[in-house]
Amino acid sequence: METRFARIISVVLQPLLVPFYSLLIIFGLNTYISLVIPVQAKQMILALVFITTFLFPAIFIFLLYKRRIITTLQMENRNERIFPMIITNIFYFLTFHMIRQMQLPDIYLRLFFGSAVVVLFTMVISLFWKISAHMTGFGGLLGSLIGLSQTIQYNLAGWVVIAIVCCGLVGFARLKLKAHTQTQVYAGFMSGMVIMLLFIIS
């Protein structure tokens, strides 16, 4: 039962969805960085981010699996993660470039550039060591929310608590599935959180 729950958590709280989840949270805030963007524009941006940071990378990974370039969709083998991460990073930097053309508040540029850097960092570390990509993603979400609350002086305590719970669930799931060691989980969490926090408050 716990193993099944851990698998569900690993799918629902999938790191490729973190930029999309981040935008959903920000667009729902009653603050200027959300209110200056028309509803139709928000819908378009959400669709764009979902497609470029989740759907396209996910399709690419699935095709690699079907062609047996990677042995599993979970990519347990550290070496199998490199090529998918390179492609994912290209999509993330492409998303940042498209967001930059939209003349949105600067916080969005920091969010997407930081997200691309987190993926790049995870890829580089994966050349030598199997860090948890799930935890870099959700650690990054937590760091973004903490940084955002400081930058725009807005109370995000509720969302921060939810992000902490998500980090705990993801950490539990990765350990339960024996996908990572505790060190790999903690390293992923701390690196993602610190990188995104620094980008948001910079």
Give the other-Cβ count within 10 Å of 188's Cβ: 31
Q: Are 175 and 182 contacting, i.e. CB atoms less than 8 angstroms apart? A: yes
Q: How many domains does the chain have?
A: 1
3 — pLDDT class (breaks 50, 70, 90): confident
Cα 57 from Cα 64, distance rounded (Å): 11
Tens of pLDDT, residue by residue over 157-189, are 999 999 999 999 999 999 999 889 999 999 999
Maximum separation of any 2 CA atoms in the chain, in Å? 49
Q: Among 42-46, 47-51, 66-70, 165-169, where is mean pLDDT lowest?
A: 66-70
Q: What is the mean pLDDT of the chain?
A: 94
Task: Determine the length of the chain.
Answer: 202
Q: What is the rounded average pLDDT of the residues 73-102?
A: 89
Q: What is the rounded average pLDDT of the residues 86-110?
A: 95
* Residue from 142, 184, 149 nearest 167 by CA: 142
Element (H, E) at 67: none
* Residue from 151, 146, 123 nearest 136 by CA: 123
Give the other-Cβ count within 10 Å of 200's Cβ: 22
Instruction: Specify the 3-state DSSP secondary structure of 162.
Output: helix
Residue type, 103: Q
Residue-range definition of the domain harbouring residue 10: 2-201
Dihedral angle over CA of 76, 79, 81, 84, nearest 10 = -140
